[in-house]
Amino acid sequence: MMIKLIKFLSIFAALFFSLYVYAETNTPHTELVNQTISSFMTNNEIPGVAVQLYVHGQPSSYYYGYADRDKKIPVTEKTIFELGSISKVMTSILLAQEVDFAKMSFNDPVKKYIKDLPDVFNEISLQNLATHTSGLPFNVPNNVATPTQLQNYLANWKPNVDPNERWQYSNVGIGMLGKALESSTQWDFNKLYIRHILNPLRMQQIGTNVPPKLKKYIAQGYDKNGDPTRPVQFGLFPSAGGLKVMAGDMQKFLSAAIGLPGTPPRVLWPIRMTQTTFVKYAGNQQGLAWSIHSLKNMSDLLDASNDVVLDSIAVDGIYEKPPYDGDALIDKTGTTDGFRAYIAVIPNKKSGIVILANKNVPNSAIVKTARELLYKLNQ
């Protein structure tokens, strides 16, 4: 009796999942993508996933499950997901654009643009902010919630180390970079992002805010326990993790991140700048927001948990002439209370992947899934 029950439940689960998951694009690798994403969703009980792929320059898109589990609203190319820390990549591209336009310099001190900061910020450069080598902490204390409280906190902040000595992943650092960009350009961060990234790539004008006409496409996020969450709130540092995106638009950004023909030069070359190695630490390579990995260590990449490291780590070296390696795997993770996101590219193979999920699952799960897919499709 027990064996029959188990068999029935297995068949039921298979039938349910075949209805629950569907792919929009049919390509030679559709079956592999479907199997991989089905396992990812089943193992982590994820309501909905969007996948954007480039394999040797050929695009494909896949949409699975539900944007809203209770309302049974399916994920489509119009579903809007939260990007989490992939926002840091966008912010760094905006910095690289200003450098490319000769309006800012990586070596400029933060205080040049944010005048009311204490003198210690004369020693911290924009490059330090973008490479997590500023010495600033991961987050501000919980009691710092308003611009005035932030100003008071920074006025009394004392660094524990000199810039460039230690790598410390920092929302505060990228948040300050966003404020420096606003000060230099005299543009609100959202408007700057729309003007210099979204419009050239012909993406929907969705930043930290979603236009009223598009709000019906916002996915419901779910926390680690599967409970519904509220939309992300990054009041003080929207540049660090507050951006949202329409799923189909990530294929346009992925194309630019790989550097495919047709990418506007005003976006292409700044992206290349962000994907170069500026810092080495503990065997890792840090670009401007991106992480950079040699494919010689692919077995380690597939096995690594790749959880975001929040510890302070000694810096091994700073490149005076940052090198670009188009054969590397260049990636970034993102998370909010109710979403996970991941992007990875191998530019010289004209290949890359984006996975967007509307549940906060372990970082290692989404990273491993995406890297295995990218590896198998590029063997």
- How far is the C-alpha of 271 from the C-alpha of 260, rounded, in Å? 12
- Residue 8's pLDDT is 34
Report the number of distinct structural domains present in the chain.
Answer: 2
Q: Is the CB of residue 123 less than 8 Å from the CB of residue 111? A: no
Q: Is the CB of residue 340 less than 8 Å from the CB of residue 4? A: no
- Residue 24's pLDDT is 57
Residues 100 and 66 in one domain: no
Give per-residue burial for 66-92: e unless 16+ CB within 10 Å, then b. Answer: bbbbeeebebbbebbbbbbbbbbbbbb
Residues 109 and 60 in one domain: no
Of the pLDDT bands very low, low, confident and very high (cuts 50, 70, 90), residue 17 is very low
Q: What is the mean pLDDT of residues 200-223?
A: 97
Instruction: Tell me the three state secondary structure of residue 53.
Output: strand
- How far is the C-alpha of 143 from the C-alpha of 196, rounded, in Å? 34
How far lies 309's CA from each of 39, 132, 167, 253, 343, in Å? 26, 12, 10, 26, 18
At CA 29, angle to CA 31 and CA 344, rounded to 5?
115
Q: What is the mean pLDDT of residues 176-189?
A: 97
Q: What is the mean pLDDT of residues 307-328?
A: 88
List, for residues 228-244, the tens digit of each pLDDT value. 999 988 789 999 999 99
Residues 159 and 57 in one domain: no
For residue 99, being part of any structural domain is answered with yes
- How far is the C-alpha of 355 from the C-alpha of 18, rounded, in Å? 20
- Residue 4's pLDDT is 39
Domain end (from 127, 159, 189): 189
For residue 312, being part of any structural domain is answered with no
Give the contacts of 14 (CB within 8 A, at least 6 positions apart).
none
For residue 20, being part of any structural domain is answered with no
Residues 105 and 148 in one domain: yes
- pLDDT of residue 303 exceeding 90, the answer is no
- pLDDT of residue 1 exceeding 50, the answer is no
Nearest residue to 57 via CA among 276, 254, 203, 268: 254
Whole-structure pTM value: 0.92
Residues 350 and 288 in one domain: yes
Give the pairing of strands 73-74 and 58-68: antiparallel
Residues 220 and 357 in one domain: yes
Q: Is the CB of residue 298 less than 8 Å from the CB of residue 291? A: no
- pLDDT of residue 16 exceeding 60, the answer is no
Helix axes 2-20, 30-44, angle to 10 degrees: 120
**Tokens of residue 219, six digits:** 């996915």
User: Residue 325: left if φ>0, alpha if ψ -120 to 50, beta else—which one?
Assistant: beta
Residues 363 and 294 in one domain: yes
- Residue 296's pLDDT is 84
Instruction: Domain of residue 73: give its range.
Output: 28-79+203-233+241-307+318-377
For residue 84, being part of any structural domain is answered with no
CATH number at residue 229: 3.40.710.10
For residue 216, being part of any structural domain is answered with yes
Q: What is the mean pLDDT of residues 6-20?
A: 38
Q: Is the CB of residue 289 less than 8 Å from the CB of residue 326? A: no
Residues 215 and 344 in one domain: yes
- Residue 11's pLDDT is 34
For residue 5, being part of any structural domain is answered with no
